Chains A and B, each alone.
With several copies, the nearest count.
Chain A
Amino acid sequence: MKKLINDPATLIQDALHGIAAAHPQLRVDFENRVIVRGDAPVRGKVGLISGGGSGHEPLHGGFVGPGMLDAACAGEVFTSPVPDQMVAATQAVDGGAGVLHIVKNYTGDVMNFELAAEMVAADQGTEVVAVVIDDDVAVQDSLYTAGRRGVGATVLVEKIAGAAAEEGRPLAEVAEVARKVNTYARSMGLALTSCTVPAAGRPTFELPDDQMEVGIGIHGEPGRRRVPVAPANEIAEMLVSPILSDLDYTGGDGVIAFVNGMGATPLIELYLMFNEVTQLLAKNGIPVARSLVGPYITSLDMAGCSVTLLKADDELLRLWDAPVNTPALRRGV
């Protein structure tokens, strides 16, 4: 294992110190491993928190700031944070208008956020609403699974719901916006290589040199199937088709198209993939209204990418375009 770390046991803490040093506009609660917007709590504004296992950077800490998250909880690598962290984050951002919990749909995340909400309800009386993100079409959404995983849509939810909160909208409406994004977003990912969890020290799965894993999760969870490595245009097809067969994207105001890098894939390849994706969308009569290309929700050092498509309307586009000022996403300010 080759990593720029001192010790797997201190990785998160060391990285949090780096985040604090690089972004003085953020506050880092090292004990609770919570990254907080410097001016939190913002009086009268709905607070947005999210969090999850580490190893997906810039998600979530890189999206803390005006116009997006108020706080993010950093769990151990690929392990959901503990309720104490969500409680601390909720307290830190509670400006009197309630707090939205943005939860990626993994059993651990859901249960830990649930416990946190129970603890907040018992102790403080802050109003908390949780929205669970489940956009990954690689997983069958049925009674027989834990349901779809939350992946790329999380970034879009945090941006768009963050903008809604910044407008001063009440908790119920902000939650509604978040749910709307989740309802109209679908994702599908692919790995060319495995990631290596520092504490494990070796690749999570073995993937032969001529194979790739389609439908991968962001924790190295195996995907739908293994297929021989293919050219980018075929890969784009493998990612876009299942999305388009899951949701009717025609007839709206186009899509917000998001091509995400898994961590070890160079940007030049992501742009190339974005080209393939837009061509497929054009073929299907779906205009691209906005785009995002880059490593925004990663899986440590995994090579690969994911595609997220959000069916947009006027409101979503306006909120998408709203100013945001975070380490990883910034515009208009």
Chain B
Amino acid sequence: MDTKDLTAWIREFAGLVAQHKDELTALDSAIGDGDHGVNMDRGLTAVVAALEAEPPDSPSALFKKVGMTLISKVGGASGPLYGTAFLRMAAAADSVLDGAGFAKVLRSGLDGVVARGKAQPGDKTMVDALGPAVDALDAALASGAGTKAALQAAADAAEQGREATIPLVARKGRASYLGERSAGHPDPGATSVTLLMQAAASTLGS
């Protein structure tokens, strides 16, 4: 995958978020403050505009632009978290990525989210979708799957991780204020991460 492919991924992610904006916001209304969809959409709209205005010439430059733009435009919790993830991905990215390279990049992103947000698995955050996705990607590639299939496994794992957040009691972010009342709802950030991985499965690998 080259800069163009990865740009397509980001654009597809932006498209999915725009499409699911109201759903994300509704999820965040239930256990947060009702802005996750609006936040992510504002940031990704700016990302798409930035990429169009000045197309980056390497995966690293692409991820850096995505990360900086999200940091500058999203705000809230998801801005620094997604932003840090992409900045870490920029630092880890080679000029062309194969499946394993992409997996390494994605894991750096996950590490960035954890470093910034200090969430552990089971805290009912985006980590609960991104962690399983990265693990599934590694496992599928290790068991010899092609990139496309491995990305699909990662997207499925993200989706399952998101589903698994439903019964959880939140321990990080706004939802944690709710205590027991946060159980019974999926985490909004885990939901947007699922869109990120679905975008990867549909645009990356061949």
Contacts and interface: CB of A to CB of B under 8 A. Distances in A.
Q: Are A and B physically bound partners?
A: yes
Interface of A: 53, 75-84, 106-108, 111-112, 114-115, 138-140, 143-146, 149, 197, 199-200, 204-205, 217, 219-222
30 contacts: A75-B76, A76-B35, A76-B42, A76-B75, A78-B33, A79-B38, A79-B39, A79-B75, A80-B79, A82-B71, A82-B74, A82-B75, A83-B80, A107-B77, A108-B76, A111-B79, A111-B116, A112-B75, A112-B79, A138-B177, A144-B171, A146-B174, A146-B176, A146-B177, A197-B34, A200-B35, A204-B34, A219-B33, A220-B33, A221-B32
Given A80-B76, A82-B74, A112-B75, A107 B33 contact: no
Interface string B176-192: 11110100000000000
Contacts of A217: 174, 177
B59 to A, nearest CB: 23
B33 A221 contact: yes
B75 A108 contact: yes
Given A82-B79, A108-B79, A108-B80, A146 B33 contact: no
Contacts of A82: 71-75, 79
A230 B80 CA distance: 37
Given A82-B71, A108-B75, A108-B76, A145 B177 contact: yes
Contacts of B177: 138-139, 145-146, 149, 217, 221-222
A77 B39 CA distance: 10
Top-5 shortest CB links A-B: A111-B80, A108-B76, A108-B77, A145-B176, A219-B33
Contacts of B104: none
Contacts of B80: 83, 108, 111-112, 114-115
B81 interface: yes
A84 B181 CA distance: 35
B205 interface: no
B25 interface: yes
A190 to B, nearest CB: 15
Residue of A106, A107, A149, A197 ringed by the most chain B CB atoms within 10 A? A107
Given A76-B42, A111-B81, A204 B33 contact: yes
A106 B171 CA distance: 13
Nearest to B83: A115
B35 A222 contact: no
A197 B76 CA distance: 15
A261 to B, nearest CB: 20
A79 B35 contact: yes
Contacts of A53: 75-76
Contacts of B72: 82-84
Given A112-B79, A221-B33, A144 B73 contact: no
B37 to A, nearest CB: 9
Contacts, number: 109
B164 to A, nearest CB: 18
Contacts of A79: 33, 35, 38-39, 75-76
A75 B39 CA distance: 11
Given A145-B171, A197-B35, A111 B181 contact: no
A140 B35 contact: no
Contacts of B35: 76-79, 197, 199-200
Given A106-B174, A111-B117, A200 B77 contact: no
A82 B78 CA distance: 11
B77 A111 contact: yes
B188 to A, nearest CB: 13
Contacts of B73: 82
Interface in B60-108: 71-81, 83-84
A255 to B, nearest CB: 25
Nearest to B174: A221
Interface in B149-206: 169, 171-174, 176-179, 181
A224 B84 CA distance: 33
Given A83-B71, A199-B35, A221 B79 contact: no
Contacts of A204: 29, 33-34
B174 A140 contact: no
Contacts of B169: 144
Contacts of A81: 75
Interface string B18-41: 000000010001001111001100
A76 B25 CA distance: 15
Contacts of A140: 179
